[in-house]
Structure 1
Amino acid sequence: MSGAQDHAIATPAGRLFARSWTPEGAGDAAPVLLFHDSLGSVDLWRDFPAALAQATGRRVVAYDRLGFGRSDACGETLTPAFVRHEAQANVPSLAEQLGMARFVAFGHSVGGAMAVETAAAFGERCTALVTESAQTFAEDRTLEGIRVARAQFAEPGQLDRLARYHGDKARWVLAAWTDTWLSPAFADWSIHGVLPAVRCPVLAIHGEDDEYGSPVHPRRIAAGVSGPAETLLLPGCGHVPHREQPQPVLAAVARLLAGVG
């Protein structure tokens, strides 16, 4: 591993923080672009990006969305269009400034939905899609899990957990998750309509015990896309497979990408 490199990505709305990991001997295969979850950041991927780079032999790039981690603050309230907006507004800047003419989209949780939107929008430039614990619609299990989490974060000191990664943006980060998903306007959100536009190979990973979404989501992704697709359901696994069961995740992604440019 040649080490991690940090990047500042300029966008019309503000600066994004990104980090890339490049394994020794990496060729010209498409890099992997990681999309984090609703409370996530580059740092919260922990050692997974480096392990993924080593397992696949590819450059891996993670970034903090606007308002998260070390990216600039976001003063706006998110709307139900924020998932699609990420693919349309920020991924083009990332791809251009990091020299990614082609890439693999890999997203966790809501980042999985963003990865789907990105694969649909970028066509042949997205050579493969990996979703992990992705939601495809606002399922009751998802909303109940968010309500439980919101109550937990209301307890004294709990917001400090987010502040470690998001600083003074922590309260906005929490509201961007809970208030957006639990709003009446979000009830009809889904990515079902965009799935047929995804034509690249797809791997949909999901923990069977995921507290934020049932296995209906990876099955809908695999059934809805136009390209070849497979699902990986992990028994005894919750919402964060790359942390709870990293080896099966790394092995499955490496197998998928072995046949992809």
Structure 2
Amino acid sequence: MNTRLQLRGMTIEVQHLASAHPAPDAPPLIFLHEGLGSISMWRDFPQRVADATGCAAVVYSRHGYGQSTPLSAPRDVRYMHEEALSMLPALLDALDIEKPFLLGHSDGGSISLIHAGGAGRELSGVIVMAPHVFVEEVALSNIRLADEAYRMGDLRSRLARHHRDVDSAFRGWNDIWLHPAFRDWNIEGYLPAISCPILAIQGEDDEYGTMEQLERIALGARDVELVKLADCRHSPHKDQPEAVIASIASFVADLLNN
């Protein structure tokens, strides 16, 4: 079921998915998409995860994405902090959700980690796929290529199917990542305060980050399980869906059964 939530003067697109095999008293999974993502770009992955884990899924398009309110101004360097520490808590309160699992991809993974370490709220667990905790040149190089593909190739037309305002979605991500002030962005300081278990998944062929991202999460946080996938790029849930879903289902089952 898709709904529209009025939140802090903005319309936020939200999707609620029930599990085909609901687990008693299981908390929901909150899905946080990548820097160019939306509800529709997850495709059937949230439903598959809900069915495999027994948890209901709540999927939403952040401000500037999908059918949510487009941006009215350029993003700030701390846009992921704002989402993690202000917008996400407001959304959880509006939906009366307590102690959820967070499942984030790329920017969504970073937002999940900031929320877990800085929002002061209890979580059942955090699952991150290809998260960023610091900025690497490999990411910036490929974000520059994405800008070229958007201006000169077919990336704009492909993204336009998923976003109410495709320029808002793309420029809001691309421009701030390539801003000189973003080069020093780093969220490692949030990791020691994360009290819940973390499952961190990354592809060995990730074009936006090296395995140093996962290694720093394991070094900084107290309870981390790493999954490194061969033959997998920046979107593990698309390149290796079976392995990813199996890892998530095992992680969630262990926590629900303890």
Shorter chain as denominator, the TM-score bin is over 0.9
Question: 4+ runs of 1 displaced by more than 4 Å?
Answer: none
Partner of 2:216: 220
Whether 1:248 and 2:228 are equivalent positions in the alignment is no
- Report if aligned partners of 1:10, 1:93 keep a CA contact under 8 Å in 2: no
Partner of 1:15: 11
Q: TM-score, normalised by structure 1?
A: 0.94
Please give the residue correspondences for 1:112-131 in structure 2 after superposition, counting only pairs within 5 Å. Answer: 112-123=109-120, 125-131=122-128
Alpha-carbon deviation of 1:260?
2.0
Partner of 2:182: 186
- Matched residue SS, 2:82: helix
Alpha-carbon deviation of 1:206?
0.2
Q: In structure 2, how many angstroms separate the alpha carbons of the residues matched to 1:171 and 1:100?
A: 32
Please give the residue correspondences for 1:138-177 in structure 2 after superposition, counting only pairs within 5 Å. Answer: 138-155=135-152, 157-167=154-164, 169-177=165-173
Whether 1:104 and 2:104 are equivalent positions in the alignment is no
- Matched residue SS, 2:161: helix
- Matched residue SS, 1:162: helix
Q: Which of 68, 71, 81 is the aligned partner of 2:68?
A: 71
Q: Please give the per-residue CA displacement for 1:153-184, whole angstroms capped at 9, x wherever unaligned.
A: 111543111111113x1112111111100101
Alpha-carbon deviation of 1:71?
0.6
- Matched residue SS, 1:232: strand
Which of 91-100 and 154-163 deviates more?
A: 154-163
- Matched residue SS, 2:102: strand
- Matched residue SS, 1:187: helix
Q: Percent sequence identity over matched residues?
A: 35
Q: In structure 1, how many angstroms separate the alpha carbons of the residues matched to 2:107 and 2:234?
A: 11
Q: In structure 2, how many angstroms separate the alpha carbons of the residues matched to 1:219 and 1:157?
A: 35
Q: Please give the per-residue CA displacement for 1:109-150, whole angstroms capped at 9, x wherever unaligned.
A: 111100101112344521101110111111000000101111
Q: Please give the per-residue CA displacement for 1:198-249, whole angstroms capped at 9, x wherever unaligned.
A: 11001110000000101110111121113x1111000010011001101111
Structure 1 residue runs of 5 or longer lacking an equivalent are: none
* Aligned-CA RMSD value: 1.3
Q: In structure 2, how many angstroms separate the alpha carbons of the residues matched to 1:57 and 1:122?
A: 26
- Report if aligned partners of 2:18, 2:57 keep a CA contact under 8 Å in 1: yes
Structure 2 residue runs of 5 or longer lacking an equivalent are: none
Letter in 2 for 1:204: A
- Report if aligned partners of 2:63, 2:70 keep a CA contact under 8 Å in 1: yes
Q: In structure 1, how many angstroms separate the alpha carbons of the residues matched to 2:9 and 2:109?
A: 22
Whether 1:232 and 2:227 are equivalent positions in the alignment is yes
Q: In structure 1, how many angstroms separate the alpha carbons of the residues matched to 2:238 and 2:133?
A: 22
Structure 1 residues 114 and 233, CA, compared in 2 at 3 Å: closer, same or farther?
Answer: same
- Report if aligned partners of 2:77, 2:185 keep a CA contact under 8 Å in 1: yes
Q: TM-score, normalised by structure 2?
A: 0.95
- Report if aligned partners of 2:126, 2:199 keep a CA contact under 8 Å in 1: yes
> Size of the alignment, in residue pairs?
255
